Amino acid sequence: MRLAKLIAAFLCLLFAAGCSDGGPATPVAPVNPAEIPSVPESGGTLVEPMLGEPSNLISILATDSASHTLAGQIYVSLLKYDKDINLVPYAAESYEVLDGGKRLRFKLREDIHWTDGVQLTADDVEFTYRLTIDPKTPTAYAGNFKLVKEFRKTGKFSFEVTYEQPFAKALVSWATNILPKHVLEGENLLDTKYSRQPVGAGPYMLKEWTAGSQIVLEANPTFFEGKPYIDRLVYRVIPDMGTQFLELKAGNLDTMGLDSLQYLYQTSGPGWDGSFRKFSFLSFGYTFLGFNFKHPFFQDVRVRRAIDYAIDRRELIKGVLYGLGEAANGPYKPGTWQYNENVRPRPFDPDKARELLAEAGWTDSDGDGWLDKDGKRFAFSIITNQGNSLRIKTGVILQQRLKDVGIQVSLRTVEWAAFIKEFVDKGRFDAILLGWNILQDPDIYNVWHSSMAVDGGLNFTRYINPELDGLLERGRHLVRQEERKPLYDRVQEILHDDVPYCFLYVPMSLPIVQARIQNIKAAPAGIAYNSEKWWIPRSLQHQP
C-alpha cells in the first residue's frame, strides 16, 4: 500500500465522523457581538480536555503537562510571563538584580493568603527552595536551585538570594510555584494526600477530582488579584484527540487544541462560523524522535545519522501538519536569537542513509528485505502516548520511511500516566516520539546535562556528552546575550552532529474557543496568559 493511501485510511479511522462532514453534531449557537455586555460579568463554567490525568499536584514532583497546567491555576509564583513573554512581578511586589547578577532581592506582596486563610510569607518561599534542593525530594528541577550560595530572609515578606557567579536563568528559576510550608512541612511527598488535595493561593482551587474522568476547579474568592470572572474550570480527561473533537462539535467542550486537519477543513461553515474563534501561531515546542543510548543499536552515531537522513521532514509537515508548521532543527524556536541559522537540517537522502548503515555493518545478508548484523535484524520499537493523533501519524510515516532503508519499526502507544511513570521516567524504550516546550531562555541544562540522565530525570534518553556538559555549565553563568550566543550555537551544532534526537517539526499552535468566552487576546505568549480575566456573558452561561 502506498504511504499516501495508508495515511488516508488511518485518518478516516481516526476521525470517523470528520471524514464525511464538517458541521457539529449539535451545532453551537452563534454569538452576536452586538449582544455582548460592555462590562465583564461573573459566573459560568469553562470546560476543556486533557489527554492524560495529572500525576501529581505538588508541581516540583511532576514532569507532565497536565499536572503543570493545573498547578499553574492553583499556585502562585514570584514572577510570571506577560503577553509579550517578559518576566513581571506576580507574588513578588518588586525585585532587584544586584552585584552584576550575583544577588537577587525580592519583596513579597502582603495581601496573599493560602486558601485555608494562612498568609503567604517568605517562609513559604524558603521552604519551597529547601524542599527542592533536598536530596530526598525526587524532583527534576533541583539543578537551578543548587546554584544558590545563600538564601537569606530579610523580613517576613522579603529575602535575598546570592550566587557564586552570575546565573543567566536566575530570575526564570524563581518563576516557579510556591508551596505552603504549614501544610507540607514534615509530609512524605511520595505518600501525602496533598498531591491530590493541594492547598494553593492561585486564581483557582481544587473542588473535585474524579479519577479517570474529570477535575473541577472553582474560583478562589480570596485571590489577591481579584476573584476570576469564570466560576468553574472543568478539565475532562479524554485520552484521544478525535474524541475530544467530537465533544467539541457537540458543544460539550469550550476549547481544545486542534490538529491541522481539523483547523483547515473541519471547523468552518454552519455551526462553526460565529460560534467559535480559531487562533494560529507558531508554538513554543517541537516534536522529536529520541534514541535510548542504552540500546546497542543507537550507540553508533552513523546509525543515528542514517535514521535522520531517512526522514523526510517536508513529508511530515505536509502529511501530519498539512503545512501548518516548520521543520525543527535543534531545541530552539526558528526566528529567536538563540537559534543557529548556520546549522542546516539534514536533507532527505535514503541513499546516504543506506550508505551509513552499511558502514556501521548493517546489511541485508539473507535477502529478506531487512538489515541485519551479527545475526540480529535491525528491528526496534517507537513508543508514544495514546490519544495524540499528530504523534501517531508521525510514527506511521517514520515506520514507512525506515522500512524503505531496511529497518523494521513497530509503533506502540501507551496511556499517558503509564507512559510517563513506567516508560519515560524509567528509560524503558528503544526510541521515543515526544515533544518538548521551548523555553524563553536557551539554558537547556535540565534536559541535556549528564547529571539529569537518571531515573525520573528529564534526560531520559541517557545522552552524555562532556563537551555539551561544559557548554551548558558555562552558558548558564553568562548574562550578556552576545557572550551566550556562541556557546548555544555550538550546543546546536553538537546536537545536530551527534543526533541524540531527530528533531522533526515545530507545529503551529491551533487553539479553538467557543465565541461565548470573552477577553481572549492573542499575543506572542499565546492566548492563555490572561485566562483568569476571561469571562462569559450571563446570558450565555450554562453548566456542563
pLDDT at 18: 35
Per-residue pLDDT at 417 exceeds 90: no
Lookup: cell for 292:
535510548
pLDDT at 345: 87
Nearest alpha-carbon partner for 242 in 390, 411, 419: 390
Strand partners, 81: 87
What does each C-alpha distance from 417 to 92, 386, 420, 434 come to in angstroms? 34, 10, 5, 14
Q: What is the average pLDDT across 366-373?
A: 96
Q: With helix as H, strand as E and coil as C, how does 291-314 read? A: ECCCCHHHHCHHHHHHHHHCCCHH
Domain boundary assignment for the chain: 3-51+203-280+514-540, 59-195, 285-508
Question: What CA–CA distance (Å, rounded) separates 376 from 521?
Answer: 56
Give 280's Cβ-side CA count (13 Å radius): 10
pLDDT at 543: 58
Per-residue pLDDT at 13 exceeds 90: no
Nearest alpha-carbon partner for 316 in 432, 409, 399, 394: 394
Q: What's domain 285-508's superfamily in CATH?
A: Dipeptide-binding Protein; Domain 3 (3.10.105.10)
Question: What CA–CA distance (Å, rounded) separates 358 from 306?
Answer: 10
pLDDT at 151: 98
Question: What CA–CA distance (Å, rounded) separates 210 from 509?
Answer: 29
Nearest alpha-carbon partner for 119 in 111, 107, 127: 111
pLDDT at 137: 94
Q: What is the average pLDDT across 235-247?
A: 94
Q: Report percent pLDDT > 90 for the chain.
A: 81
What are the DSSP calls for 142-204, one per residue? HHHHTTEEEEEEEETTEEEEEESS--TTHHHHTSSB---HHHHTT--GGG-GGGTS----SSE
Mean pLDDT for all residues in the chain:
92
Per-residue pLDDT at 10 exceeds 90: no
pLDDT band at 387 (very low <50, low <70, confident <90, very high): confident
pLDDT at 49: 97
pLDDT at 393: 95
pLDDT at 71: 95
pLDDT at 215: 97
pLDDT band at 544 (very low <50, low <70, confident <90, very high): low
CA dihedral of residues 410, 411, 415, 419 (deg, nearest 10): 70
pLDDT at 19: 36
pLDDT at 334: 87
Q: What is the average pLDDT across 250-257?
A: 95
Query: Domain spanning 59-195 has what CATH number?
Result: 3.90.76.10
Q: What is the average pLDDT across 384-407?
A: 95
The CATH class of 3-51+203-280+514-540 is alpha beta
